[in-house]
Amino acid sequence: MDEKIYQILSFFLGAILLILLVCLGLIFSKSNDRTADKARDIDTILVLGSRINADEQPAKITQERLDAALLLAAKNPQAKIIVSGAKGADEPVSEAFSMKKYLMAHAISAERITSENKATDTAENLSYSKKYFHGKTVVVTNDFHLYRALYLASRQGLKVEGYAAKTEVTNPLYYPNYYGHEVLGLIYAFVFGTG
């Protein structure tokens, strides 16, 4: 009996480990998507929202997305930028509002920016923003988040490309937090098609 329980537990632990490894492999498969080809001939740049600090400034992880968008915007002066994200319960303003302010402080004109301030997750970022898509659309998010964003876009039938903002961490202990959260988010997206 004990051996049977051991075999069942071993099977389940092995299956969980396999799922985690597959998810991490998929996440890493898109984490370096920031080639020169991705940066050319862009018509629309969608920046997915993330944390906003108490002082209404984008958190570091959000700034990384915005800085990547600024790079693309400089190379594609014709491109419009969509910033997407609602106000979280612990945020002073909507993510879209803070991100627009940041872009304008970095010489992007208000006319180039569209704010979408209802989305509370990645799937909603995409579904609420798609009405503003025109021509070649590139989704900008952090490297660890890009695979899930593109997967959810494909589930919605959207033809978009991705651009990975490099995540700089000062403390290596942040990596398990980011990637652990992303693995769970990816599993949720596979099962429910949202998140």
Q: How many CB atoms lie within 10 A of CB 187?
A: 16
Q: What is the pLDDT of residue 99?
A: 99
Q: 81-104: per-residue pLDDT in tens?
A: 999 999 999 999 999 999 999 999
- Domain range enclosing 63: 2-192
Q: Which of 78, 85, 77, 89 is nearest to 102 (CA)?
A: 85
> Whole-angstrom Cα distance, residue 165 to residue 143?
5
CATH of the domain at 172: 3.40.50.620
Number of structural domains the chain divides into: 1
Mean pLDDT of the chain: 92
146-155 helix and 174-192 helix, angle to the nearest 10 degrees:
10
Q: What pTM did the predictor assign?
A: 0.89
Q: 130-141: per-residue pLDDT in tens?
A: 999 999 999 999
Q: How far apart are the first and last CA of the chain?
A: 41
Q: What is the pLDDT of residue 29?
A: 79
Q: How confident is the model at residue 36 (pLDDT cuts 50, 70, 90)?
A: low
Q: 159-184: per-residue pLDDT in tens?
A: 999 999 999 988 888 888 888 889 99
Q: What is the pLDDT of residue 1?
A: 56
Q: What is the pLDDT of residue 26?
A: 82
- Residue 53 Cα distances to 33, 50, 94, 99, 181, angstroms: 27, 10, 11, 11, 20
